[in-house]
Amino acid sequence: MTPQLTWIEIDLAALKSNCRFLRSRAGEKTELLAVVKSEAYGHGMEEVACCLHDEGIRAFGVSAVSEGVRLRRKGISGLIVVFLWGGRDLLADVVEHDLQPVVFAKEQLLQISEAAVCGGSKIGVHIKVDTGMGRLGMLPDELPAFLHLVTETPGVYPAGIMSHPPLADGESTQFAEDQNQLFKSILDAVCGDEDSVPLAHIANSAALLRFPDMHWDMVRPGIAIYGCRPLAGGLFADAELAPVMSFKTRVLQVKDVPVGFGVSYGHTFTTSRPSRLAVLPVGYSNGYSRSLSNRVDVLLHGRRAPQVGRICMNVTVVDVTDLEQVRAGDEVVLMGRQGDEEISVDEIAALMGTINYEVVCLLGNNNPRIYIN
């Protein structure tokens, strides 16, 4: 029995299985860059990266220089792309640990050049072009001059040209297809038929699964690695992905209460029959959102039981009247599978009015993680 009252369980066998499936979908000629930013979407960045490194993955995406440094210190070799610019103060770490920053402005490039020359090294940069995402990146007509600047600037070289799709998981395929054509025209214009060209990459999880023409030299799956589909519903139903994260706790107390018994703050739930209640040591400080109050189920003894009353900071209550022999210490699955029943991340996300990305980050980064398999 785990000593934790409430914990996240990470199934490394499922992680490996997802990785193999995504590599098969990407194809032999396309490299897979595993996005492990933000603690690998709550799954634990170092543990996930080491597991995937053992599977042969040699390209990783992080959001911050500090994350890249942590991976190097864990012995992660290969390509580490840093998505968010960290400023001049972090460039010594970029040079020392051979990280490859994403760039989109001349000032960034010159600062990286200065640090690389001082460190006696050459740093690869990935040039970000905004082909429709509407966030970071230069506009397409700015790329030719910027790429020329990169090639002429000491201490740096163009390791990649990248973009990002905002609608690869949309109902219509038209925008994504048009965006990819724009990306192709950009690459044709600046790279031509040269043998030595930067890595071209635009595909996120949705584009990897849905648009083979967007695979290019490298794909950047994030949420799919962790067994979640980019969009709930049937669009990616054929994707052979297994959930990596489960969320569990244990019964703290079981008590019998009479009819008309109010539960938790505000008495938003009152018993309509003699009832048996199980008190759980989990609440919104664990990421178990207060918005789930009186709406969500948990799994106990392989069956669903309704959560009742307001979810508190550290405590929530479940009605187990219809279950037999529930005792203090029994394992409770808040998200995941128990027996033949499952409470999926998408079910939790729908009840919270959000997406599975937010749920795994919220739960995974607010609870101790235990690794299995």
Determine whether 255 is an active site residue. no
> Beta strand pairing status for 59-62 and 156-162?
unpaired
User: Quick check: helix, strand or coil at residue 204?
Assistant: coil
State how far the Cα of 348 lies from the Cα of 340, in Å rounded to an integer.
Answer: 18
User: Quick check: helix, strand or coil at residue 139?
Assistant: coil
Instruction: Give the DSSP letter string of 51-95.
Output: HHHHTT--EEEESSHHHHHHHHHTT--SEEEE-S---GGGHHHHH
The secondary structure element, H or E, covering residue 109 is helix 106-118
Burial class (CB within 10 angstroms; exposed 0-12, middle 13-18, buried 19+) of 346: middle
State how far the Cα of 143 lies from the Cα of 179, in Å rounded to an integer.
Answer: 16
State how far the Cα of 64 lies from the Cα of 269, in Å rounded to an integer.
Answer: 44
Q: Which residues contact 57 (CB under 8 A, 6 or more apart)?
A: 19, 32, 34, 78
Catalytic, out of 37, 41, 128, 357: 37
Catalytic, out of 29, 226, 265, 284: 265
Residue 247: closest CA among 194, 286, 293: 286
Residue type (1 letter), 196: S
Residues with active-site annotation: 37, 265
